[in-house]
Amino acid sequence: MITKEKVHSILKGYDKKKIKIATICSHTSLQLFHGARQEGMKTIGICLEKYKKTYDAFPFGKPDEYIIVDNYKDIPADELAEKNAIVIPHGSFVEYTGKNLEELAVPMFGNRLSLMWEGDRNKLFKWMRDSGLQIPELFTPETIDRPCIVKLPGAKGGKGYTIVSSPAEFKKKVKEEKFIIQEYIPGVRVYPHYFYSPLSKGGYEVRNGSLELMSIDRRLESNIDESYRATLAGVTVEPSFTVIGNEPVILRESLVREIMEMGANVVESSYRLFQGMPGPFCIEMICTENMKFYVFEISARIVAGTNLYPLGSPYTCYSYKEPMSTGRRIAREIKRAAKLNKLEKVIY
């Protein structure tokens, strides 16, 4: 893996007044380019030729310039570095670049190590436990004694997940070799989007910095969501969990206290385990009828649910006079860090 020192030495050569925001045209890039534009920063979209047309359809969301590639695994690091680019990782970025992300010789916003912790299930569980989060019970194929969700590896948006209630059902339904089996938690899913700034003071203070709640969503998954329609229509459906979109959520205000505490604990733990996590992240959880939160994942980067709020959210309006998306917040942090000569604090 490329060292932090190497990344910071590349960053040293940058013209701090001409920093550009770069990412792959997918996932949350419209929001990221839009937010950077609002902050007066120039943007670069790494794009396949066939997708450029889609981005050109959104004049305020498209990048200022494109770098057209044949394959996302061939991201031109030298060209990006020459252009003073800081790369913003998002879900598709992590998935498309795979292992290449570890070696990518371009300054990246946030702590690249956090993406490694998110992507490795053992590390992720260590992180969730160290954060003191309540997590659903884990089972082996032999010990299944209640409804469980079987998850396949990789950030594939819930694709291929299945529900089983016994060892026999597991044997019948699951043919894959790599999986985890987790107790199925009934309740309402909640995905709060946070932003941690090690540069800010005041507000919700955590570790010499400040934690912000940017927004909350829940995912729309086909076909578990709205499966009642199929049931009413007399169609039997096997529940599946393929993410196809997102919808907004606002929480009971008393629950926001706990949500903030959980976010703070995840940040504190990131410092204990891998030197911190500046920037956006999301804790994916289910709230039961007893108002207990069970966490099943942490995303250590911007998540697609933030796309609901390109002009701010019912939380950011209490912190900012202007519309503040997570994309814009990232651009602002980079701008501020450059001005304070503290880019090293938010880049790896």
Measured between alpha carbons, how far is 36 from 331 in angstroms, rounded to an integer?
Answer: 5
Give the amino acid at 24: I
In the complex, residue closest to ligand AMP by CB: 158
Which residue number, 170 or 241, has a Cβ lying nearer to ligand AMP?
A: 241
Query: Do the Cβ atoms of 240 and 223 come closer than 8 Å?
Result: yes
In angstroms, give the least distance from the CB of 155 to ligand AMP.
8
Residue 3, CA atoms < 13 Å, CB-side half-sphere: 3
Which residue number, 185 or 347, has a Cβ lying nearer to ligand AMP?
A: 185
Q: Strand 20-24 to strand 42-47: parallel, antiparallel, or no bridges (unpaired)?
A: parallel
In angstroms, give the least distance from the CB of 180 to ligand AMP.
9
Which residue number, 6 or 173, has a Cβ lying nearer to ligand AMP?
A: 173
In angstroms, give the least distance from the CB of 31 to ligand AMP.
20
Helix (H) or strand (E) holding 241: strand 241-248
- Count of CB atoms situated within 10 Å of the CB of 249: 17
Which residue number, 16 or 156, has a Cβ lying nearer to ligand AMP?
A: 156
Which residue number, 106 or 135, has a Cβ lying nearer to ligand AMP?
A: 135
In angstroms, give the least distance from the CB of 243 to ligand AMP.
7
Measured between alpha carbons, how far is 316 from 326 in angstroms, rounded to an integer?
Answer: 9
- What is the helix, strand, coil percentage profile of the chain, to 5? 35, 25, 40
In angstroms, give the least distance from the CB of 182 to ligand AMP.
4
Which residue number, 83 or 151, has a Cβ lying nearer to ligand AMP?
A: 151
Looking up tokens 């694709």 gives 159
Which residue number, 95 or 284, has a Cβ lying nearer to ligand AMP?
A: 284
Give the amino acid at 335: K
Which residue number, 124 or 311, has a Cβ lying nearer to ligand AMP?
A: 124
In angstroms, give the least distance from the CB of 179 to ligand AMP.
12
In angstroms, give the least distance from the CB of 145 to ligand AMP.
15
What distances in angstroms separate CA 338 from CA 211, 223, 314, 320, 348, one per listed residue?
20, 45, 29, 21, 14
Longest dimension (CA), the chain: 64
Residues in the site for ligand AMP, rule: CB under 6 A?
136, 149, 151, 158, 161, 182-185, 189, 219, 221, 241, 284, 286, 296-297
In angstroms, give the least distance from the CB of 107 to ligand AMP.
28
In angstroms, give the least distance from the CB of 233 to ligand AMP.
22
Tokens of 97: 């670049």
Measured between alpha carbons, how far is 235 from 87 in angstroms, rounded to an integer?
Answer: 46
What distances in angstroms separate CA 44 from CA 76, 229, 325, 327, 329, one per listed residue?
12, 43, 19, 14, 18
Query: Do the Cβ atoms of 135 and 298 come closer than 8 Å?
Result: no
Which residue number, 187 or 323, has a Cβ lying nearer to ligand AMP?
A: 187
Q: Which long-range contacts (CB under 8 A, 24 or more apart) does 169-173 make?
A: 169/144, 170/141, 170/144, 171/141
Q: Strand 204-206 to strand 188-197: parallel, antiparallel, or no bridges (unpaired)?
A: unpaired
Looking up tokens 């597991």 gives 170
